[in-house]
A and B are shown apart, each in its own frame.
Chain A
Amino acid sequence: MVPILQEALSSNRLSLTHRQFSDALGICGILPGPMATNLAVYIGFKSSGLAGVLAALLGIIIPILVVGIVFSQILHKYQEKPFIKSTLLGFRCGVVIIMFLAAVIMFFSEQYNVRDIIVALTAFCMVGFSRINPAIIIIGGGIVGLAIRSF
């Protein structure tokens, strides 16, 4: 999504400066809610006010709604067919593995110090083996990070 936006930015389809764009990325990545809709609201507003917000939100929602609903309808209709059912059984194994691998790749692609690793391992065990709300773990991680970086 970011490269597509950058392309729109450089071809002047968005009335936004590069500085505003990089601010938008920084802010929208950390606020709650999906980054895509955050960016739609932020960039929509910066480039053309409330009408821009509405247009950007509709632009991002409509394709996902249409594709998602059509896909769901088809799947719900045919999910009991052996061919689809066995594919889904395979996907269940696949998605678990790719999530785990994505987490491992993400973890090793960043430079963490020992304290970060301890925080990460604690969070990992809390999600993997308890029913604690993940939102609490994220906020807790933020507070611990804030505390160890402040002292």
Chain B
Amino acid sequence: MHFSGNAIKSYQTWVKIGFLSLGGAAIIAPVVQNELVEKQRILSMEEFIDDYTQAKMLPGAIALSMAVIIGYRFGGFKSSLAATLGMITPSLVTVGLVLFLSNYFYGLPFVQLFFEGIRPVIPALLGGIAIRMSQTVIKNRQNLLLMAFLLGSFLFFKINLTYLLLLSGVFGILMFYRKVKSDDH
């Protein structure tokens, strides 16, 4: 935990993440994973997956929830607030600039083409990061079994993704409770 209590470092990190997350909410997971797990190495892949799950379950913008939750992990309230402020800084700067230039920029044809080029990359990044995360999760047979079961229940019963996540929690208890409890003692 390198920046435990260091609100300034937390702020800087999330300003960077904010500026890098171009193209919508789907991009936030790969960007955060790359910065905190791969580069700064202050978060393990398991911790990242747990925090992402929490952020996904909370109401509101997932990017902000991630800043709040991961900020909190590293230094409580102060660091959490700093991370949130970091996350809104790019919005203030870029939207401020666009308002200042009064929509001139969005009308440019190359800007439109650029963002059309980004469109196919967004699901690819989301799928890629899922593959990345699965490399950590598929460490034992039980996890693999649970994942296969969840995939199967989506394919055969068309279960909605939110219910699928809840189902995974229920099966987590059914499959791992005993083992976790015996490890505890």
List chain A positions with a Cβ less than 8 A from chain B. 1, 23, 26-38, 40-42, 45-46, 53, 57, 60-61, 63-65, 67-69, 71-73, 75-76, 80, 82-83, 85-104, 106-107, 110, 112, 116-117, 119-129, 131, 133-135, 137-139, 141-146, 148-150
**Would you call A29 and B24 a contact (CB within 8 A)?**
yes
Chain A residues contacting B121 (CB-CB under 8 Å) are: 119-120, 123, 137-138, 141-142
**Would you call B59 and A42 a contact (CB within 8 A)?**
no
| A-B CB contact pairs (8 Å), 15 listed | A31-B91, A53-B92, A65-B84, A76-B72, A82-B184, A91-B172, A93-B146, A94-B53, A97-B164, A101-B164, A128-B129, A134-B30, A141-B117, A142-B118, A145-B117
**Would you call B128 and A126 a contact (CB within 8 A)?**
yes
By beta carbon, the residue of chain B nearest A53 is B92
**Would you call B126 and A99 a contact (CB within 8 A)?**
yes
Given A91-B168, A127-B125, the answer on whether A117 and B64 have CB atoms closer than 8 Å is no
Q: Indicate whether B151 reaches chain A with its CB closer than 8 angstroms.
A: yes
**Would you call A90 and B172 a contact (CB within 8 A)?**
yes
Interface string of B44-75 (1 = CB under 8 A from A): 00100110111110111111110011001100
Choose from B22, B61, B81, B165 the contact partner of A95 (Cβ within 8 Å): B165
Chain A residues contacting B95 (CB-CB under 8 Å) are: 27-28, 31, 33, 38, 41-42, 45
Given A33-B91, A86-B177, A92-B143, the answer on whether A103 and B21 have CB atoms closer than 8 Å is no
**Would you call B94 and A120 a contact (CB within 8 A)?**
no
Choose from B18, B116, B133, B150 the contact partner of A32 (Cβ within 8 Å): B18
**Would you call B129 and A141 a contact (CB within 8 A)?**
no
By beta carbon, the residue of chain B nearest A110 is B119
**Would you call B81 and A65 a contact (CB within 8 A)?**
yes
Choose from B30, B64, B73, B165 the contact partner of A72 (Cβ within 8 Å): B73
**Would you call B150 and A37 a contact (CB within 8 A)?**
no
Query: By the criterion of a CB under 8 Å from any partner CB, how many residues of chain B are at the interface?
Result: 100
Bound: A101/B154 CA distance, A = 9
A126 to chain B minimum Cβ distance, whole angstroms, is: 7
**Would you call B120 and A112 a contact (CB within 8 A)?**
yes
Choose from A26, A86, A129, A150 the contact partner of B131 (Cβ within 8 Å): A129
Chain A residues contacting B116 (CB-CB under 8 Å) are: 145, 149
Chain B residues contacting A85 (CB-CB under 8 Å) are: 176, 180
Chain A residues contacting B118 (CB-CB under 8 Å) are: 30, 138, 141-142, 145
A11 to chain B minimum Cβ distance, whole angstroms, is: 22
Bound: A150/B84 CA distance, A = 39
**Would you call B132 and A60 a contact (CB within 8 A)?**
no
By beta carbon, the residue of chain B nearest A1 is B61
